[in-house]
Amino acid sequence: MPMRQRLHALFPIRYAALTLSLCGAALALLTLLAWGGSWPAGLVFVVCALLAGLGIHDLRQSQHAVLRNYPVTGHLRFLLEYIRPEIRQYFIESDSEATPFSRAQRSLVYQRSKGEPDNRPFGTQLDVGQQGYEWVNHSIAPTKLPTHDFRIWIGGQPGQPAQSAQPCTQPYHASVFNISAMSFGALSANAILALNKGARMGGFAHDTGEGSISAHHRVHGGDLIWEIGSGYFGCRNDDGTFSEERFVANATDPQVKLIELKMSQGAKPGHGGILPGPKVTLEIAQARGVAVGKDCISPSRHSAFSTPVEMMHFIARLRQLSGGKPTGFKLCIGHPWEWFAIVKAMLQTGITPDFIVVDGAEGGTGAAPLEFTDHVGVPLQEGLQLVHNTLVGVNLRSRISIGAAGKVITAFDMVRLMALGADWCNAGRGFMMALGCIQAQTCHTGLCPTGVTTQDPARQQALVVPDKAERVRNFHRSTLHALKELVQAAGLCHPREVTAHHIVRRLTDTEVRLLSRLTMQVKPGALLQPLQDTQHNVFRLYWPMASAHSFQASSPDVASTSPPIQAADRFATTPGPVDLLPGQS
């Protein structure tokens, strides 16, 4: 038997730290008794005694097997595990590893928010030969645009209301880049103050999130998108049902520009939420209309309606009660037939929302169970395509503006989403990083190191509102400036002119295709006619199953009249005929 194994059999080396601590404490105590009060000996005794006490506690505790087997030294494992994210972020990961945002993406936000140069020398760091690489085709006759302040009308235009029952009478001239939904309570008071002040300075909109309008949203007067979730915070009765009276009080505030009904969110679609009572402070209770110190519950579904038709009537009612402000809804696509049922309700009632915000499953400003974060909900690309093409197919696209949210950081992210059908984009984590977020991913613990996602008064004081508001404004302005340059380079005059024909995607080392050949393209009015065999599979299978009077799918027998479809193709983006780019073979 090797010497090491024989020694280990006599005395397990894993107890060495505990043994040395006990011996050190004993020797230091003897020294103190023999030679009097020597401060070095006293210091050694205190340190060794503490370590020895820790080791004895490790042996007696029953929660951690590692500590029972490795007293004292086992704590190194937990220390290294605790600082592992920081070690990886600062020393190991490359600039292009996105978990969830790469160092290059974060650096770009920091540079733009601080007003620093964001140009990069020596060429791209991306592998342009890698499958999935995308680019914008440029023009040899680029345009010259006077401003980067691109805007769209939501809810019609002044004097030209959208064609809908009970139409909007107060259309909003929105920026194409706005702050996504993040509630007070999830974000600190100082974060809300800085975001809203930055939105006012930059002339763009700030979504309140489901937590309603707090006092901090009102301080600087920035334009608000009031999000109303299933908890009806800010417009609820004591029993949690919708209150028209309280809704009117908030909705008619001139600062509120849009009313957004939240059906689901990308971070945790189909999942309700609960804010534990101890976290429900006076400020949060006042904003949400709940009791201080009691659990604040957000149900997983709405109580104000139960069918798609009732949902459309509820939207019309909200628009009327708000004084005619643009009213729409946000959702992360799940079952396709539920979305189709909503569209059929629009057709049946003649009531259309003024806008729809499509939230991708990659959204992440809300903490959620891992299974929901990783495996529930349709990603933004597929969800946005489905919403845009469905509205085109029923001739409603011109009435309804579409917003898109999900990992939007750069101007190219915006261009790509607009090519797929979005009219404007929202960003959540991008603006969080503009506030100083370092992606520590401790948002749900209350221990945010930069004061962005904490209710700890001491921690949030680290976030200086005037400075961070300027950074929010700078990030918005610089991103739109980059968008302007991309639009000019493509020879266009407005981002609305960007289509999937302008984006190219690499499939293999030797093959590329226009994005328009890789994504579904539904012809105007096609869904109002009998479905053709050439129609995309998602419509052939699920459109007949949808009913305006129920979110449930109709009998599977209804779908049996459609041609057989392979399961793998039900949500695939089946390309049309392949058109190679000039010069490709």
DSSP letters, 515-568, are GGGTS--PPTTGGGSPPPTTS-HHHHHHGGG-BTTBSS---HHHHTTSPP--GG
Averaged over 216-229, what is the pLDDT? 96
pLDDT over 80 at 36, yes or no: no
Q: With bands split at pLDDT 50, 70 and 90, how would you rate the model's confidence at 578?
A: very low
pLDDT for the residue numbered 447: 84
pLDDT for the residue numbered 573: 41
pLDDT over 60 at 344, yes or no: yes
Residue 537's identity, in one-letter code, is N
Q: pLDDT for 447-481, tens place per residue?
A: 888 999 888 888 988 999 999 999 999 999 999 99
Averaged over 355-365, what is the pLDDT? 86
pLDDT for the residue numbered 576: 38
Contacts of 256 (CB under 8 A, 6+ apart): 213, 224, 225, 226, 250, 322, 325
Which is higher by pLDDT, 467 or 446?
467
pLDDT for the residue numbered 564: 41
Does the pTM surpass 0.75? The reply is yes
Beta bridge partners of 506: 512
pLDDT for the residue numbered 137: 94
pLDDT over 50 at 286, yes or no: yes
Q: With bands split at pLDDT 50, 70 and 90, how would you rate the model's confidence at 560?
A: very low
The full DSSP string for 215-245 is HHHHSS---EEEEE-TT-TTSB-TTS-B-HH
Q: How many CB atoms lie within 10 A of CB 364?
A: 21
pLDDT for the residue numbered 206: 98
pLDDT for the residue numbered 466: 95
DSSP classification of residue 132? T
Nearest of 370, 430, 547, 448 to residue 106 by alpha carbon: 430
Averaged over 292-300, what is the pLDDT? 83
pLDDT for the residue numbered 136: 95
Token digits for 412?
């190219």
pLDDT for the residue numbered 195: 97
Which residues belong to CATH 3.20.20.70 in the chain? 134-502
CATH H-level, domain 134-502: superfamily: Aldolase class I (3.20.20.70)
Question: Residue 132 CA to chain centroid, in angstroms?
Answer: 22
Q: pLDDT for 38-65, tens place per residue?
A: 788 888 989 999 999 999 999 999 888 8
Averaged over 160-171, what is the pLDDT? 84
pLDDT for the residue numbered 577: 36
Residue 187's identity, in one-letter code, is L
As a whole-number percent, the residues of the chain with pLDDT over 90 amount to 60
Q: Which helix (H) or strand (E) holds 478?
A: helix 465-489
pLDDT over 50 at 240, yes or no: yes
Averaged over 260-265, what is the pLDDT? 93
Averaged over 82-110, what is the pLDDT? 79
Q: How far apart (Å, rounded) are the C-alpha atoms in residues 307 and 305?
A: 6
Radius of gyration of the chain (CA): 29
Token digits for 273?
């939420």
Q: With bands split at pLDDT 50, 70 and 90, how would you rate the model's confidence at 207?
A: very high
Q: With bands split at pLDDT 50, 70 and 90, how would you rate the model's confidence at 442?
A: confident
Q: How far apart (Å, rounded) are the C-alpha atoms in residues 540 and 537?
A: 5
| Inter-helix orientation angle 103-114/465-489, to 10° | 110
pLDDT for the residue numbered 475: 97
Beta bridge partners of 152: 174
Q: With bands split at pLDDT 50, 70 and 90, how would you rate the model's confidence at 297?
A: confident
Of 33-47, 494-508, 559-573, give the lowest mean pLDDT range: 559-573
Nearest of 138, 134, 139, 140 to residue 515 by alpha carbon: 134
pLDDT over 80 at 393, yes or no: yes
pLDDT for the residue numbered 369: 75
pLDDT for the residue numbered 529: 92
Averaged over 363-370, what is the pLDDT? 68
Which is higher by pLDDT, 526 or 565?
526
Mean pLDDT of the chain: 88
Token digits for 139?
């023009």
**CA triple 354-206-451, angle to 5 deg:** 150
Q: How far apart (Å, rounded) are the C-alpha atoms in residues 366 and 273?
A: 10
pLDDT over 90 at 555, yes or no: no
pLDDT for the residue numbered 508: 93
365, 210 Cβ separation under 8 angstroms: no
- The long-range contacts involving 109-112, CB below 8 angstroms and separated by at least 24 positions, are 109/409, 109/430, 109/433, 109/434, 109/475, 110/433, 112/434, 112/474, 112/475, 112/478, 112/479
